[in-house]
Amino acid sequence: MEEDFNVTAYKVEGNVDYTALEKRFGIMPITEDMQSRITRLAGESHYLIRRKIYFAQRELSWLLDQYEKGNKFYVYTGIAPSGRMTVAHLIPFIMAQWLQEKFNADVYIQIPDEEKFLTKNDPNLTIENINKLAHEDAMDIVALGFKPGKTKIYIDTENATQIYKHAVRVSKKITYSTIKDAFGFSNETNIGAIFYTSLQAVGTFIKSAEENRKIPCLVPLGVDQDVHFRVARDVVEKLGYYKPAIIHSRFLPGLKGDPKMSSSKPEDAIYLSDSPETVVKKVNKAITGQQSTAELQKKHGGNPEKCSVCQYYKFLFEPDDKKLDAIFKAERSGSILAGEHKADLSMKINKFLENHRKNREKIENKMEDFMLK
Amino acid sequence: MEEDFNVTAYKVEGNVDYTALEKRFGIMPITEDMQSRITRLAGESHYLIRRKIYFAQRELSWLLDQYEKGNKFYVYTGIAPSGRMTVAHLIPFIMAQWLQEKFNADVYIQIPDEEKFLTKNDPNLTIENINKLAHEDAMDIVALGFKPGKTKIYIDTENATQIYKHAVRVSKKITYSTIKDAFGFSNETNIGAIFYTSLQAVGTFIKSAEENRKIPCLVPLGVDQDVHFRVARDVVEKLGYYKPAIIHSRFLPGLKGDPKMSSSKPEDAIYLSDSPETVVKKVNKAITGQQSTAELQKKHGGNPEKCSVCQYYKFLFEPDDKKLDAIFKAERSGSILAGEHKADLSMKINKFLENHRKNREKIENKMEDFMLK
């Protein structure tokens, strides 16, 4: 029997059954064959794909066919700020940066600084505040190693002239009925939130529109964002462009076990701006898959699938499969206790964040080279 | 009993009863007292106000109070292109130019090049085509004598960065329910058309937002556009700005007697681009208020209120009240016949158009000075 869970563009609840979700959304798994093709074409595999953190797709085979024929793709992804970026937010950008490097792909990144303003009722989420966050996010993204000239970040309110004209074309082909059903809107929903998906769709054809030719587009995204493209993909094709290919990622759980880490729950999330002490504190309070006492854990072992510490290694902090296996084994066998387990993770996270901040400092004054003109 | 007529943002049908319309829309007449105040403050009266072509208003007394206290207003109006401009389209701009001159008011002009794309199903009305028309319109508007530096024209798709961020704020405070009722939309209406009114509202506070202070705004518009501001005025106040003052004009009828001249009916409209021969041809086919034969007209006289020739003089081509009186009298008494009447009007229109084209040529290369930066 299906478990009770809910995944919309605005909320993730319950224990997400990803196989059931594929059926609900009409998306297909990333097969072993697709994985091998990507590895062959890239010259190496990526842990996010190997580990099925990117688990589902649309049009991926078609995209790879096109690539093999010499029809290169570009990558489109984004983030809608509502607080400082968490490590969970990095997942699509880690993927995008790798695709840029291995497939020499241009990357377009939308930072919609109106989206949370329109869809949340938080007095702190003014457009001005979100716009500041958008610039923070842009730096955090670029710090992952994106290339100048091949990376085009746009912030909706600042780049509206480049995107609104395209969004208008999308919007003409989407009725309120469609949006209402897809997003669970009511007649009391504001008209900005209703229109917004038109802007999110633009990235799937912006490069084609700019260059006036059809260019394949690959969108790595969290599976909760699929709804925007369920609505838009047919529309994009009607406008004369290729439907975007999409790869869908699972959610990094919250430290306390929420199904999706959320930047609006500080104790559940690791922010890129967290101090080393904060990281230690938060990780110490994380739930693990271990038994209630050290004795029981030593005897019976724990469950790495239910352990947020193990999941953080898997999603972000241990790209080496052999090392990850060792961590999972230790958890299962009971040979590692929660304290040590957490101390190791805190160290890894802090090392990552320290390195990230250094990279960020290097690009802070070079952001102009990464913004859409 | 009320006559059967219909005035929406998208259609005008039947014999418009302007008194009934005031009640429907909740707008108030421009009183003799208001007229006198405007005349006193401007140093002269304007025929469009004297003749009650601008017949109704919102907040006009308040606006004049503010002006007398030294709190100057700016003017906002616009045009949504769907074809070349007709002489009817000039009415709000003639008013705006006069207000600029007499009240030293800045004038903001919106040219929404997406509006007809979103609300009409005409394959010729692509955004590209409308955008070209928008630039033609901008020149026709400036040619009326607007001042550089005090006139800021914006074209939605080209100036989206300046206006979208403000429209987002408006849109958050308008629900689909409100829009649906106000504009007669259905669930099959596209989401761009639903959002659009947010952008039309921006002009009522754009100068206040740019300068970060509350500045009164006066909007001259055709009464069919009032609906946008019925929806937006409370919203604008909630955003911390003044509600706009509005003055509403009657419709210049079509040459063939349609209640509103429409640029989509070539035979019913005089375009600013019409050749002298075309003007003569069209005016010759216009309906007049005269009797069916010259003999009957000489005996009984005609009705200037039902005569499009007389109305064209009244709305646009005879600002001198004495001369207009003489024209109306001649029509009533039967002392002028249709042929002569029409020949006179054609001559006046052609003189106007010739002069307009000359003025336009002078500013064609100076348009940069009139565009919003």
What separation in angstroms does the CA of A54 have from each of A124, A203, B270? 33, 20, 62
Q: Write down the pLDDT at residue B3.
A: 60
Is residue A39 a part of any domain in this protein? Answer: yes
- Torsion-angle region of A168 (φ positive above 0: left; ψ -120 to 50: alpha; else: beta): alpha
What does the pLDDT average to over A188-212? 98
CATH number at residue A165: 3.40.50.620
Q: Tell me which chain B residue has its CA closest to the CA of residue A118.
A: B172
Tell me: do B319 and B217 sit in the same domain.
no
Residue A371 · residue A152 · CB < 8 Å:
yes
pTM of the model: 0.95
Q: Write down the pLDDT at residue A184.
A: 94
Q: Which residue has the tokens 């080393």?
A: A276
CB contact under 8 A, A117 and B168: yes
Work out the mean pLDDT of chain A and round it to a whole number. Answer: 95
Which positions in chain B touch A127 (Cβ < 8 Å)?
165, 168-169
Which positions in chain B touch A187 (Cβ < 8 Å)?
175-177, 180
Q: Write down the pLDDT at residue B274.
A: 97
Query: What kind and span of H or E run contains A163?
Result: helix A160-172
Tell me: do B302 and B224 sit in the same domain.
no
CB contact under 8 A, B195 and A190: no
Tell me: do B228 and B137 sit in the same domain.
yes
What separation in angstroms does the CA of A354 have from each of A269, A360, B127? 17, 10, 49
The nearest CA of chain B is from the CA of A187 a distance in Å of 5
Facing A190 at nearest CB: one of B156, B175, B185: B175
Which positions in chain A touch B128 (Cβ < 8 Å)?
none
Alpha carbon distance A312, A329 (integer Å): 15
Tell me: do B216 and B179 sit in the same domain.
yes
A309-343: b or e for each residue (b if 16 or more CB lie within 10 Å)? bbbbbbbbbbeeeeebeebbebbbebebbbeebbe
Express each pLDDT in A133-185 by its tens digit. 999 999 999 999 999 999 999 999 999 999 999 999 999 999 999 999 999 99
Is residue A366 a part of any domain in this protein? Answer: no
Tell me: do B286 and B147 sit in the same domain.
no
Facing B165 at nearest CB: one of A157, A176, A198: A157
Tell me: do A286 and A238 sit in the same domain.
no
Tell me: do B100 and B232 sit in the same domain.
yes
CATH number at residue B328: 1.10.240.10
Is residue B210 a part of any domain in this protein? Answer: yes
Task: Give the single-character DSSP code of B190.
Answer: B
Tell me: do B144 and B14 sit in the same domain.
yes
Q: Kindly state the tokens that stand for A353.
A: 């964040």
The nearest CA of chain B is from the CA of A10 a distance in Å of 16
Instruction: Give residue ranges of B with CB < 8 Å to any A CB.
Output: 114, 117-118, 127, 156-161, 163-165, 167-177, 179-180, 185-195, 197-198
Tell me: do B66 and B210 sit in the same domain.
yes
CB contact under 8 A, B191 and A190: no
| Percentage of chain A modeled with pLDDT above 90 | 87
pLDDT band at A1 (very low <50, low <70, confident <90, very high): very low
CB contact under 8 A, A161 and B158: yes
Which positions in chain A touch B170 (Cβ < 8 Å)?
192
Task: Give the single-character DSSP code of A221.
Answer: E
Alpha carbon distance A113, B213 (integer Å): 24
Q: Write down the pLDDT at residue B265.
A: 83
Q: Kindly state the tokens that stand for B280.
A: 């003569």
Which positions in chain A touch B117 (Cβ < 8 Å)?
168, 172
Which positions in chain B touch A195 (Cβ < 8 Å)?
171, 191-192, 194-195
Is residue B132 a part of any domain in this protein? Answer: yes
Best CA proximity match to A78, nearest among A159, A181, A185, A170: A159
Q: Write down the pLDDT at residue A176.
A: 98
What does the pLDDT average to over A279-304? 89
Alpha carbon distance B147, A2 (integer Å): 69
Is residue A370 a part of any domain in this protein? Answer: no
Is residue B146 a part of any domain in this protein? Answer: yes
Tell me: do B229 and B289 sit in the same domain.
no
| Rg from Cα positions in chain A | 21
Q: In total, how many domains does chain B have?
A: 2
Facing B176 at nearest CB: one of A160, A163, A191: A191
Position A42 pLDDT exceeds 80 = yes
Q: Which domain holds residue A330?
A: 266-361
Is residue B98 a part of any domain in this protein? Answer: yes
Last residue of a domain, one of A222, A250, A278: A250
CB contact under 8 A, B176 and A156: no
Give chain A's end-to-end CA distance (angstroms, integer).
51
Which positions in chain B touch A198 (Cβ < 8 Å)?
191-192
Query: What kind and span of H or E run contains B228?
Result: helix B226-238
Last residue of a domain, one of B189, B220, B255: B255
| Regions of chain B where pLDDT drops below 50 | 1
Tell me: do A234 and A329 sit in the same domain.
no
Residue B205 · residue B241 · CB < 8 Å:
yes
Tell me: do A184 and A227 sit in the same domain.
yes
Position A202 pLDDT exceeds 90 = yes
pLDDT band at A232 (very low <50, low <70, confident <90, very high): very high
Is residue B100 a part of any domain in this protein? Answer: yes
